[in-house]
Structure 1
Amino acid sequence: MVVKDLQPFTIVEDEGFRAFVKKLDPSYVLPSRKVLKAMVSERYDKAKEQTMEDLQKAEFVSLTADMWSSINMDGYLGVTCHYITPEAKMATVVLGVRRFYQTHTGQHLMEAKALLMAEWGITSKVQCMVTDNAPNMKLSTQLLHLRHVPCFAHNLNLIVTKALDETPVLNEIRQKARKIVGLFRSSCKAKDKLVEIQSWSSHQALQLIQEVQTRWNSTFDMLQRLYDQREPVAAALSNLNNDTAPLTSLEYEIIQQSLSLLQPFKLATTEMSEEKRVSASKLIPLYRMLQHKLAQKKEMQRGNQLYN
């Protein structure tokens, strides 16, 4: 339970949990927090030993690595290993998520990754490393003498984000959309009014989604949810005493056209984010699919212009 549900060790000290366990079995003696921690550590050691045995059976492995900062701006390095089992099944194991105290230079990243590879006994098995396009990540891979594979999903994110940022009309709509979503997510009165209107207008009572600056697909989700809920949102705004401007019918039409154009990129991003399927072989088909869809859109637009 502690491992699967990410529960803190202190759960065994919680009054309600202790009463619950006593109700289930009055004779059971809960372990202390320290004992529970030792039990989890023992379970981890056994799981790691078994995983290392499995890795030794794999002929080749590939790695993915990423750096990120916590809410407290602490740096972390995460490295994941991917391999095929003797039964021809794809397997994934997290080698480590380590607090990174050093400066994020290519040399320091290389040293940290090399230590993890040596710890798990896979130094000679690694065929490539997938990372984003950050220069320090690319350099660390070069210093390890490994083949670097840029993350396709990350590249898609950069491409679509740049396209969105360079479309002034859509940027204005996104700004208005963020303000609308912010109102319904921060005001209890606005939220209650939306839920009320959703209930009697036969719309599913769904929360609006706020976009996240680092993930373009959150922009897609925000616009899609707003478009689906445009009627109750407009009705709720008209019943609220505030200065938040609703989106116009023309702006919703632009949103619809944008969603249609972005849908293939959304599908490609989702497809490349899966863990249990080999993804490298999908790169060329997905790339061709995106090219084909964009060419179709351009042809349709050209046809509409000629017709008009």
Structure 2
Amino acid sequence: MWEHFDLISPNKVRCLLCSKELGYNNNTSSMLRHYRALHENREETGASPSQATRKQELDEALVSMIVKDTQPFTIVDDVGFRTFVSKLDPNYVLPTRQALKAMVEAKYESAKEHAKAKVEKVAAVSLTSDMWTSINMDAYLAVTCHFVEENKKLSSVLLGVQAFPQSHTAENIACVKASLMEEWGISGKVTCMVTDGAPNMVACMRELKLRHHICVAHTLNLAVKRALDQHPVLSGLRAKARKLVGCFRSSTTAKEKLTQVQLQLGMQATKLMQEVETRWNSTYLMLQRLVELREPVGAALAGLHTGIPFFTASEFDIVVACLSLLSPFYDATTELSAEEHVSASKVIPLLKMIEKALQEEDTKSAPAVAVEIGEQLIRQLREKLHMLPC
């Protein structure tokens, strides 16, 4: 009976199938009577074919919701959810947590077999792989497979995302990747693998004896980040921007004041964006948003008396000029990161366009800081992507 009831107090239980509460006296007699009267016959003998089909449809919809929305299995025990489902269809009996888990696992196996069947039909695949560390400092390795189906449609299948507690050596990484390729039956089909340029990833490709390409979007990220980090004036402006944004994001008073000023100016209430250390495009978005909200941010600061300085007019000129330099890099990164089409053929044209845009910016009248950063961007671009005719 405890598969169908929860103890909610020392002398009360709740039915997991219909949410009815019953008295509990250290035995399961009342639970057994309730289950036999209302649920046992319905589950085992009383359901008509149409009812069984309806239950199967609802079970599948529930599983899809759990998967797509990343909901916990315990949702079927939530009183509000059970009440909501009961209002929608009083005859539908929600599965238990254990049953729901088994259904999700079955759906995963079915989806995996379907994906394997698709991969099995193709003659060649390419792979992309990445490693990262979660907010809880757990390391993960992911490998994704890309191929063209018979209908000429580009498809991608995630081969696996695996916890990686072992040392991040080339040998260990190669071992996990080789195991995934063997499991999916593609060991002899891989034409190329794309990774970042970390030494252990490069050595891993030598270990696997696979053709290797370094991710251009990742390389662009490194090139721009280094150029931005190496200029002291821009580094100072970024530090000032981070402090300013941090004030408006951490203080309720400051946040409300900024919203109030924006509404008074007839603008839509928009939040400031904070820079993320590892992503240069977050720097671009942070500075862009500050330029867009220059007037309301200045007015809000004046009313708050926080003592935090805002950009001066000359500093704004530098920021605007730098944004103009970074705009083609941002557009190129967005284009290269798209998932719906092959991006390799776009690499050389995009790099050519970036260099042309930087050279055009060079001819404009811009602050000295922006000119120096533009020159540094061109140097970094040529240094890190020297193997491509950019």
TM-score (norm 2): 0.76
Give the deviation of 1:70 after TM superposition. 1.1
Instruction: Say which of 153, 159, 163 aligns to 1:89.
Output: 153
Whether the 8 Å CA contact 1:79–1:96 is kept in 2: the answer is yes
Q: Where does 1:19-168 land on structure 2 (aligned, <5 Å)?
A: 19-168=83-232
Percentage of matched positions with identical amino acids? 54
Give the deviation of 1:190 after TM superposition. 0.2
Any runs of at least 4 consecutive aligned residues in structure 1 with deviations exceeding 6 A, and if so which?
none
Equivalent in the alignment of 1:280: 344
Give the deviation of 1:241 after TM superposition. 2.7
User: 2: CA distance between counterparts of 1:246 and 1:26?
Assistant: 60
Structure 2, unaligned runs of 5 or more: 1-64, 372-390
Structure 1, unaligned runs of 5 or more: none
Q: Where does 1:245-284 land on structure 2 (aligned, <5 Å)?
A: 245-284=309-348
User: 1: CA distance between counterparts of 2:196 and 2:97?
Assistant: 39
**In the TM superposition, what whole-angstrom CA distance separates every residue of 1:223-272 from its partner, at most 9, and x where no partner exists?**
00000001000000000031211111111111111111100000000001
Equivalent in the alignment of 2:262: 198
**In the TM superposition, what whole-angstrom CA distance separates every residue of 1:76-115 from its partner, at most 9, and x where no partner exists?**
1011111111100110111100001210000000000000
Instruction: Say which of 162, 174, 198 aligns to 2:238.
Output: 174
Greater RCO, CA 8 A, separation 6+: 1
User: 2: CA distance between counterparts of 1:56 and 1:268?
Assistant: 33
Q: Report SS of the residue matched to 1:49.
A: helix
Equivalent in the alignment of 1:221: 285
What do you get for the CA RMSD once the two structures are aligned? 1.3
The one-letter code sitting in structure 2 at the alignment partner of 1:17 is F
Give the deviation of 1:291 after TM superposition. 1.2
The one-letter code sitting in structure 1 at the alignment partner of 2:224 is V
User: 2: CA distance between counterparts of 1:146 and 1:50?
Assistant: 26
User: 2: CA distance between counterparts of 1:62 and 1:27?
Assistant: 49
User: 1: CA distance between counterparts of 2:315 and 2:363?
Assistant: 23
User: 2: CA distance between counterparts of 1:80 and 1:29?
Assistant: 38
Segment drifting more, 82-91 vs 291-300:
291-300
Q: Which has the larger radius of gyration?
A: 2
Q: Report SS of the residue matched to 2:66.
A: coil
Whether the 8 Å CA contact 1:203–1:229 is kept in 2: the answer is no
User: 1: CA distance between counterparts of 2:318 and 2:79?
Assistant: 55
Give the deviation of 1:301 after TM superposition. 4.5
The one-letter code sitting in structure 2 at the alignment partner of 1:33 is R
Give the deviation of 1:300 after TM superposition. 2.7
